[in-house]
Structure 1
């Protein structure tokens, strides 16, 4: 006879395959490698499928005097040509609802490559070729391409600026023993996802239409399609199984392609697919905002910051898009990991005659952090000290100290940056390696080295409070298999796998019982974009809530049937322990079905504690902070400006990791992508407003050979989120992107060595070999 207690019996069980806090491969990893993962362009095309292409304009700013499309319409295979007048209800797809982003230009062109018409043809090739036959007459208007030109033209803003202020930076600045003024240009970045934008629309009866879209925001595509067609949202179903990368570029930028495909499909009552060419995709879709940061920092003789006053001016493009929240988030992160006693930060979101810039991994935060690190650099070189010494001196203090309040008046309650940096400084042997590098540079005429350790403090949550909600739908079938659907989208980051792990853990079943299904607005409504690093936080909690509801019903049923109490019932690996009996999970589910127990639930979650008042610039916009630190070592050739990343050591805080393997992959990928932004990925427009870096031949993303020669990535295994997140984990999407600021700083040190470290090199980003070489020459010419 078994005399063990109920609690002892609960612990006597094998573990499930899967569940939270375990290494598990990405659910589609093998399909990605084998080429068997289905994307939208892999879907079988129904009979009669048509194809769309954009007719792009070739002026940066002009009135359209006339547009002759007769040759386009007459081109073999063309079925119809759409213009702004063909939009059934509205010609606007502005995500900010400011009515400033037309589907197709009408009368006015505001950037080179703006679409003025769309061709619908029997084949994609015919549509693209026909689009080139338009005859458009323009009346050219003055244009402003970059921030300086926009200011000179009057500085028109695309959205309201924000000011964050604490203390009195203006009046306290003169009281600082030392002051430095400067400016820094921080370049933009092309998303360069492997799968370009694509939409596939299939018309239904009445107002109904189904759209497959490569989007991070299915609900927004649903709303935009409904808005332009003039139908209710319930008539539009948007589906997303996976994307071949997104990085923020598919949060709003997919609207245009989905809307045009949907309008054509309803107009012609035929399926329509729309996949732009890579060059067209790069020319007519938004990118990371580039910034001009103007700063003044006051500090004492030890390097402790007294006051900061900075303006973050951004090239936003011709329409508002997401420039308001992007430039806001830049200010939210312009403190980096540092406490500013007196601070004033102002955004300047400037309208330019370029494609409207949009979300990109970090959403303005990285630009703010780069600005903060530049000020640290300025102080260190002004005082002749190691930048790390200045960093540590200015870190936020512990909760309850007089150094725990951000410029937006949120208390930093979970600060672990000091512990992270101290651990990494020791494990990476920073001090020893820096001493060796100083010695090497003293004796090397051509090759110079640099090393830097930079911290990351990154706020997690949407700053628009309403977006911090999620839903999930969970079905348990009679055989014990589980169907999972939630509002998050899979773009390669492993979100689907993590949420499946949450469900497997909740029910204590093997993960192969959980079926991951495509995201669809027909199952989970009113979803937020998969962005702001909140995909797992939000959808994981929503899925857990749905599982909780079903488990409560199963427990109540089991208690009644077995004549016991709920505290004597527990879910154990692939079984349910009911008193002294271990019942297989699928057997209990079958019995519950015949007892008419509901085995389906809609889960919901909203992030607690957060609030934000943009008018006053005060609040708690972030639920918590994620932290990290990186040490990077580089070598530069002072004759050519070329450089190599010799070694990188990362220690990153992901709380209690849901899946360490996936999290490390996100850190590695984020690091390399961020390194590309800061070193090689240069966007360049000519004087006519034409984007000249619009293809792999002219735009350089990092190659495998550009990765650090030695790349050590470690998770802070002692960390656990102090807030009640799913499994006490922390977000890992955007924070690691900021780690390679250490590469930029290391290059800067190597350049500074040419001038005996007397001056801050003031390297702009990206630090291309050309910029590095010019900085070296400035150091050589300096007195």
Structure 2
């Protein structure tokens, strides 16, 4: 398909535009290099290039700042410090704490101090290196457990509870307690942070930004420039990946570029090189989790006290909501009769951690999945049987710790189906036998489920708008508030509009997300992009469909109920019809507006945070994965041999896009749990700061057997064509890999010991767990409190 291909009304039948495995709308552009990203935009004449001068210490104060060498550098045109900002200086997205520039206090290595504009990018980068800065350094706080002890928090702690959890645990026949440390994760989007600011009339600014949240960039740029929001337009056609790293973290660079553009009257581009992007932008939150649980002799949970602690870095950013979501998902798929969940938000002197696919949900799920394995080893049962025993069920076993009823629970059926299709039981027996005869290599197997809540936990973000134009040649232009970062959002929304109007998808052109077309948009996050923007676009299409139908009925002397749209035509009887193009022209000639806005807000959701009760999620997305691994007990090295996934996307809008999201999400989750290790030195400097020392999964890490199937069930809630969100939930299917590694290690003690294995489960950590398990096995088995030896 070519963008310039002429439109015809004899296009292939489009009945069922949704539900088909249509290619990504920009796929050809991606692979041919024709896709335009921020750094590809043709720059205005005399564009300047910016670079940021940053701190080299993680905690302390600036004693003196000499920028004379910067000013004297070749090509430097302008330099701005904190005092040069005409408007707001703190750009915290929800709570204050994120100064755009600092003139005094330093809170992390890489904190921006000043910004330079020069005639070339290289000149700007060289210039910032000539700053002479003297600091009064202090010892940084970098350890999350110490921060927890000192109650160094960026936001107050929060608690959810139902029943008397401490008493339930104390009275249980068996008890366990454990802790786990979970590493963070670098977003590693292929396109780094980038912004281009172009001055406009009346103090206005056109900002091209690689952002998941154009409206927030618009608002913050307006605030730092001290102009009304309507003077700023943000344009975002596509990102080369986001994963949450461009939800709030794109704003500083857009604001700095806009400040320089305002000061110089020239366009300014600010693009972070990878060596700056990694140290200067936030990561997935590392977490420190603990549990104390009570259960019966079969392994059924009776009570649980769970604590999740997020390492937030130096500022709140989005940490309040991220730790909340970790708390919302600390139960995952399991009913806990009496439960208390505490969530802490610790401050450390690192870059402020931020949104990342799953938004805290994966970190919360990990502690209860550890508990399931630990219970199974204690009572001598297969971990899958313990998981199935504890799943949410019918009345009396369907209430979450935050008092939302788990309705339309698909997991028992979904897990049963995957258990059979993956030959779980047979493979379990074969692996046990194989491990008995192999002293060095050990295999492991695990099936883990996912129950992930869909909606922004901040209620007002659950809304979206769209703008739809039909032109007299029958072509359609669509704009909506969501952003395309490679996930296929535009493709799905395009299909939705084509389905609604019964036209060929080729008729529809989706334009860049722009704040002057659809205002006050929510970020493209929380897996809600299609749910929200798809419904808004459909509502706009339904409005135009109704207007055209009324016009056709009036002009053709037909009943409105007889008018129907089908296969690029509009019918008013069994034998009479006109093309969609003719219908659009007819409406125009009869002065019918062919432009409409659409709006949607998610129904049913509410949450009382003071009471920790409510329905924060419209529905739950479900899935399960079986992973098989083999480890070398002499080195700790391992391979993922096979993965079987069954995932619930409701009625799929685009199976090709959905399966791609499931595969990609799983591999990214596997990277978080196995190879991707963030490392800071004692001075708070990120040492895993490049592709040379930070290992994301490669194509060679894809398991030889990687089978993905979609669970065939429409969403029971009234979502867009009864589909379900797919962006984040598959990420957590990768927990099965971590659980399988623990299973393989546990085989060294005949599955009677549940090993400690923090993440990422690097070969070094696996080897330490192997040695500890062997030592414990030979020295006496670790018993559950109250259990039998």
Task: Return the TM-score normalized by structure 1.
Answer: 0.97
Secondary structure in 2 aligned to 1:391?
helix
CA separation in 1, counterparts of 2:374 and 2:81? 52
2:118 counterpart of 1:121: yes
Counterpart contact for 2:54–2:110, Cα < 8 Å:
yes
Distance in 2 between residues matched to 1:314 and 1:208, nearest whole Å: 39
Distance 2:234 2:155 in 1: 29
What corresponds to 1:112 in structure 2? 109
1:433-454 CA deviation, whole Å, 9 max, x = no partner?
0100000001101110000000
CA distance in 2 between counterparts of 1:123 and 1:628 reads: 50
String of CA shifts for 1:428-481, please: whole Å, max 9, x gaps. 000000100000001101110000000000000000110000000000000110
Q: Distance in 2 between matches of 1:189 and 1:322?
A: 16
Secondary structure in 2 matching 1:420: helix
Query: Structure 1 residue 377: deviation in Å?
Result: 1.1
2:562 matched to 1:565? no
3-state SS of the aligned residue for 1:75? coil
Q: Which ranges of structure 2 fall in alignment gaps of 5 or more residues? A: 1-9, 780-789
The match for 2:7 is none
Measure the CA separation in 2 of the matches of 1:529 and 1:14.
35
Q: Please name the residue that 1:340 is paired with.
A: 336
- 1:377 equivalent among 370, 373, 377: 373
The reply on whether 1:585 has 2:583 as its aligned counterpart is no
Structure 1 residue 434 corresponds to structure 2 residue 428: yes
Cα distance in 2 for partners of 1:473, 1:134 equals 48
User: What is the match of residue 4 of structure 1?
Assistant: none
Q: Deviations over 1:500-550 (max 9, x none)?
A: 000100110100000010000010000000000000000000001001111
Structure 1 Cα separation of the partners of residues 232 and 661 of structure 2: 33
Match of 2:297 in 1: 301
Alpha-carbon offset, residue 17 of structure 1: 7.7
1:540 alignment counterpart: 534
Correspondence for 2:98: 101
**Whole-angstrom CA distance in 2 between matches of 1:18 and 1:562:** 28
1:141 positional shift: 1.9
The CA distance in 2 between the partners of 1:324 and 1:272, in whole Å, is 34
Residues in 2 aligned to 1:220 and 1:551: alpha-carbon distance in whole angstroms: 32
Describe the superposition over 1:311-334 as per-residue Cα deviations: whole angstroms up to 9, x where unpaired.
111110111000000000000000
Superimposed CA distance per residue, residues 83-114 of structure 1 (whole angstroms, 9 cap, x where no aligned partner): 11111111111001x32110012200001111
- Paired residues of 2:185 and 2:678 also in contact (CA < 8 A): yes
Instruction: Say whether residues 1:276 and 2:272 are aligned partners.
Output: yes
Structure 1 residue 61 displacement after superposition: 0.3
Separation in 2, partners of 1:539, 1:460: 14
Provide the rounded CA distance (Å) in 2 between the counterparts of 1:148 and 1:479: 64
Q: Which moved more, 1:380-389 or 1:183-192?
A: 380-389
Shift of 1:56: 1.4
* 3-state SS of 1:202 partner: strand
Aligned residue among 133, 137, 160 for 2:134: 137
Partner in structure 2 of residue 500 of structure 1 = 494
Give the superposition deviation at 1:18.
7.0
Matches within 5 A, 1:583-732: 583-717=578-712, 719-732=713-726
- On the 8 A contact 1:18/1:504 being kept in 2, the answer is no
Q: Which residue of 1 aligns with 2:40?
A: 42
Deviation by residue 1:385-436 (Cα, 9 ceiling, x = unmatched): 11101000000003xx100000000001120000000000000000000100
> Is residue 18–residue 24 contact of structure 1 (8 Å, CA) maintained in 2?
no
Which position in structure 2 is the counterpart of 1:226? 222
Return the alpha-carbon distance in structure 2 between the equivalents of residues 615 and 714 of structure 1: 41
**Take 2:700 and 2:125, find their aligned partners in 1: how far apart are those partners?**
35
The answer to whether the Cα contact below 8 Å between 2:463 and 2:532 also exists between their aligned partners in 1 is yes
Decide which of 28, 31, 37 is 1:30's aligned counterpart: 28
User: Using the alignment, how far apart are the partners of 1:211 and 1:14 within structure 2?
Assistant: 39
Instruction: Pick the aligned partner of 1:445 from 418, 431, 439.
Output: 439
Partner residue in 2 for 1:323: 319
C-alpha distance in 1, partners of 2:504/2:135?
64
Task: Judge which range, 754-763 or 519-528, deviates more.
Answer: 754-763
> Please, which of 172, 180, 198 is the counterpart of residue 202 of structure 1?
198
Q: Secondary structure in 2 aligned to 1:161?
A: strand
Residues 673 and 760, structure 2, Cα contact 8 Å, conserved in 1: yes
Q: Deviations over 1:628-652 (max 9, x none)?
A: 0000000011111111010000000
| Structure 1 outlier segments of 4+, above 4 Å | none
Contact 1:13 1:572 in 2 (8 A): no
Counterparts of 1:5-24 in structure 2, within 5 Å, are 15-16=13-14, 19-24=17-22
Q: Which shows bigger deviation, 278-287 or 755-764?
A: 755-764
- For the residue of structure 1 that corresponds to 2:155, the secondary structure is coil
Residues of 1 paired with 2:373 and 2:88: CA distance? Answer: 50
Aligned to 1:162, the other structure's residue is in SS state: strand
Q: Note if contact 1:186-1:765 (Cα within 8 Å) is conserved in structure 2.
A: yes
Q: Which residue, out of 362, 366, 381, partners 1:366?
A: 362
Q: Who is 1:288 aligned against?
A: 284
Matched, 1:574 2:568: yes
1:8 alignment partner in structure 2 = none
Shift of 1:14: 6.5
Q: Deviations over 1:711-744 (max 9, x none)?
A: 0000012x10011110100000000000010000
Q: Give SS of 2:599's match.
A: strand
CA distance in 1: counterparts of 2:11 and 2:441, whole angstroms: 60
Match of 1:411 among 402, 405, 412: 405
Q: 1:337, 1:15 → 2: CA distance?
A: 42
For 1:127 and 1:576, how far apart are their aligned partners in 2? 59
Question: For 1:740, what is the secondary structure of its paired residue?
Answer: helix
Residue 563 of structure 1: CA displacement?
1.2
Count of residue pairs the alignment pairs up:
767
- Structure 2 distance, partners of 1:625, 1:15, is 34
Distance 2:269 2:723 in 1: 39
The residue that corresponds to 2:179 in the other structure is: 183
Shift of 1:120: 1.0
Deviates more, 1:555-564 or 1:338-347: 555-564
Matched, 1:263 2:259: yes
8 Å CA contact 1:649, 1:712 repeated in 2 = yes
Q: Deviations over 1:348-385 (max 9, x none)?
A: 10011000000000000011111110111110111121
Rounded to whole Å, the distance in 2 between the matches of 1:46 and 1:422 is 60
- 1:161 and 1:564 map into 2 onto residues whose CA distance is 64
